[in-house]
Amino acid sequence: MQIRFLGQSAFLLENAGHRVLIDPFIQGNPKSPVTLEEALGWNVSAVLISHAHGDHWGNALDFGRAGVPVIGTAEIGGYAQAQGAQNAIGANIGGTVRGEWGSVTLTPAWHSSSFPDGTYGGMPTGLVIEMGGVRVYHAGDTNLFGDMRLIGDRGLDVALLPIGDHYTMGPEEAARALELLRPRVAIPMHYGTFPPLVGDPQVFAREGQARGVEVRVLEPGETTEV
């Protein structure tokens, strides 16, 4: 699988000709390495949304109105459909949505969730994505919580974790989360995009590697393979 970091919490996953976009915050993202027009040309199979905040919901409707399935909580799916995303899919915590590209299971996250217009977005979630035998956990926006151990019991290849602090856990807490999640590889996200997000990825890398996890710090636009 190829994993491309797009800034903040946005990632493009590619495996066996399928592309999945997570939290597509492109327009308005000062760290985005691509334009919306470029991203709409990627022919993605699905757009996955961890929660409804603007820096995660982002350009979901642009993809949804073009026919790409937008997948999130029941509230996110319903909102997307009402706004013209004809193939939106609403699920809930513990549920799995499957497609030709693979599958995504919604997991808990400790945060909040509302759309930019104030509409309630349901519970915030993490996402466990399986594509071509590779299992990736995108934690969304969250703090450290004990049930991450249960997510880790699935056997994770990659964990994408927020480290920015202020709205989420910081790098030290994220490194402690690795003890519960036990991935082979960890990639930090949700830092440095806006002034409050002061978490240092090098601190996360040092603390994570001390726990035996390979940490890869990606610049927006960079791709890594797992």
Mean pLDDT along residues 117-142: 98
d(CA 125, CA 72): 8
Q: How far is CA 219 from the centre of its chain?
A: 16
- The pLDDT, as a whole number, for residue 176 is 98
| Two tokens, residue 158 | 């990659």
pLDDT digit string (tens) for 61-87? 999 999 999 999 999 999 999 999 999
Domain ranges of the chain: 2-218
Mean pLDDT along residues 123-143: 98
Mean pLDDT along residues 95-120: 98
Question: Given pLDDT bands bounded at 50, 70 and 90, which one contains residue 41?
Answer: very high
Mean pLDDT along residues 31-52: 98
- The pLDDT, as a whole number, for residue 54 is 98
- The pLDDT, as a whole number, for residue 172 is 98
Name the percent of the chain lying above pLDDT 90: 100
pLDDT digit string (tens) for 162-190? 999 999 999 999 999 999 999 999 999 99
Superfamily of structural domain 2-218: Ribonuclease Z/Hydroxyacylglutathione hydrolase-like (3.60.15.10)
Name the percent of the chain lying above pLDDT 70: 100
- The pLDDT, as a whole number, for residue 74 is 98
- The pLDDT, as a whole number, for residue 152 is 98
| Two tokens, residue 188 | 């930090």
Beta-carbon contacts of 163 under 8 Å, excluding residues fewer than 6 positions away, are: 169, 170, 171, 174, 188, 189, 190, 191, 199, 200, 201, 204
Cβ neighbours, 10 Å, residue 226: 18
| Two tokens, residue 15 | 């495996």
Question: Given pLDDT bands bounded at 50, 70 and 90, which one contains residue 27?
Answer: very high
